[in-house]
Amino acid sequence: MDSATRRSIRWAQAGLLINAVLVLVKLFAGIVGHANALVADAVESSADIFSSLIVWMGLSIAARPADEDHPYGHGKAEPLAAAVVSLMLLGAAVGISILSIHEILAPQHLPAPFTLFVAAGVIFVKEILYRRVSLVGKDVGSTVVTADAWHHRADAISSLAAFIGISIALIGGPGWEAADDWAALVAALLVAVNGVRTLRPAISGLMDEAPDRSVKERVLEAACSVEGVRNVENLKVRRYGLGFYADVHVQADPSISLEDAHEIGAKVKYAILGAIPSVVGVLVHMEPHRQSGKRSEDPVLSLPPV
């Protein structure tokens, strides 16, 4: 298991522990203090516990080496876990909405003032957790860690809505008891938006969508740095878990021996792996280079003869 995966798992475990504590705090404060927005927030945080477990499991499975049944490794577990976390965000939004509407239609009590401090504390903790986990997700290039970070941000947003709703209810007094429930309803909408936002990159990973062009350019540069490479006819890069797989068609002098061509292919492979640590697998196709031959399948990647 590499350092990026270990780092991601550590933050998933930290999120799991923090979420468990926050669920108990918000649920207790919401029930005792008659703050339904905090109760709804606790429901959303309970989903965070399961999402952190899924992130932990997804990263652990994705880090497993290839085996007989999975010759290309287990990297798909990472975007699959991200998709599950995103769907849980959408499910939490639906759950909060149902609870909020039910409480709006029911008789209400004014929330207790101390619930404001609970909501403020949750906002502070969750926003810090979001920023740290989001930074880790960007550093390691993980869709599931990024989705988990947005789960923390969604919790901070719902707690902010609870804070605003409780404040309005306390300031307005009798007749404004449902303000925190309306705030929870708004928070549910924001949580749903974040769910959709994090679902897209997860689906992209499952569909083998190409990464941004900078990755392809670095792979191309590494391949072209190898002596004997006349041209790169075609290059495909796809994300797989926390890394990338690259397929490259390299053209060389058609008069060289098969052994020499094999040697050039091996050098191209290790040049790419050495230049870009996030590339975990390279497949090199050796082809004869002919100046009057067929044009490149990917003209952007085509190089002039050397």
pLDDT of residue 112: 82
Q: Torsions phi, psi of 287, nearest 5?
A: -140, 155
Return the SS3 of 236. strand
pTM of the model: 0.61
- pLDDT digit string, tens, across residues 8-66: 778 777 878 888 888 888 888 888 887 766 776 777 677 667 777 777 777 777 777 77
- pLDDT digit string, tens, across residues 201-224: 778 777 777 777 888 889 999 999
Q: Is the dihedral of CA 195, 61, 142, 154 positive or negative?
A: positive
129 pLDDT tier (thresholds 50, 70, 90)? confident
Q: Has residue 297 got a pLDDT over 60? A: no
Return the SS3 of 306. coil
**Core vs surface per residue 77-116: b (16+ CB within 10 A) or e:** bbbbbbbbbbebbbbbbebbbebbeebbeeebebbbeebb
Residue 230 DSSP class: -
240 φ/ψ sector (left φ>0, alpha ψ -120 to 50, else beta): beta
How far is it, in rounded angstroms, from Cα 197 to Cα 303? 38
**247: which strand partners?**
236, 283
CA 55 to chain centre: 9
Kindly give the interhelix angle for 114-140 and 3-32, rounded to the nearest 10 degrees.
Answer: 170
Q: What CA dihedral angle connects 41, 78, 205 and 72, to 10 degrees? A: -170
Kindly give the interhelix angle for 143-172 and 36-62, rounded to the nearest 10 degrees.
Answer: 170
Extended strands (E) in 156-241: 231-240
- pLDDT digit string, tens, across residues 148-184: 787 788 778 778 877 888 888 888 888 787 787 787 7
Nearest to 135 by CA among 121, 120, 150, 123: 150
pLDDT of residue 247: 92
Q: Give the chain's domains with CATH numbers.
A: 3-206 (1.20.1510.10), 213-301 (3.30.70.1350)
pLDDT of residue 109: 73
